[in-house]
Amino acid sequence: MKQLDAQKGLVWLEPSRVNNTYALAMRRADAMAKGISTISDLATKVLQGERVVFASNPEFFERSDGLGPLEQAYGFAFTRDRVVRMDIDLIYQVLRNLKLIDVGLVFATDGRIPAYDLLVLKDDREFFPDYSMAPVARRESLQQHPELAVHLERLAAVLDNETMARLNRTVDVERVPIRDVASEHLRSNGLI
């Protein structure tokens, strides 16, 4: 991507540690009670015949790099009657409020993960692709304002999945305006 974007006059700067990839999550209390912290642990439970219901959005269910390949990579398969397809936003609500779903597809930095006390299962076989967040700026802008790269890279350095999920929670769950959340984060990290 860096090379393709360079042809368009865009410069990729140092990436952050934020990786907003797909992930599987469970209610923390349930995961702890069942001894599940990784996708391999989940696969073992399914292979042992434990009843596990999985919520997926329709896209992931159908994708050529979605549920089927995930199951292949981990050597297990949910029976299709234990896979429920629903909108991604509903997955968080169902995981939070109903015991009908045991594990759901989520995005790694969604603010509802900490707000609803969900546990993201470690992708111990590194199946999910990396969707790292990186600042990208126009070459022209960086030439005119070289300090911009320094500021953007300082910001990237203080971001990770946990921080991003906390910030997203403040916006999405607590309904604090984005501008206020961003300003406070920048101020508290000495970036403004």
Percent of the chain with pLDDT over 90: 88
Per-residue pLDDT of 109-133, as tens digits, reads: 999 999 999 999 999 999 999 889 9
Cβ-in-10-Å burial (0-12, 13-18, 19+) of 130 comes to: exposed
Q: Is the confidence at residue 64, as pLDDT, over 90?
A: no
pTM over 0.85: no
174: helix, strand or coil: coil
d(CA 132, CA 39): 21
What rounded mean pLDDT belongs to the chain? 94
Domains assigned to the chain: 2-15+132-188 (3.40.190.10), 22-120 (3.40.190.120)
Per-residue pLDDT of 137-178, as tens digits, reads: 999 999 999 999 999 999 999 999 999 999 999 998 899 999
pLDDT band at 7 (very low <50, low <70, confident <90, very high): very high
Predicted pLDDT of residue 1: 85
In 3-state terms the chain splits into helix, strand, coil percentages (rounded to 5) of 50, 15, 35
Per-residue pLDDT of 84-108, as tens digits, reads: 999 999 999 999 987 889 999 999 9
Nearest to 82 by CA among 96, 62, 61, 65: 61
Predicted pLDDT of residue 99: 83
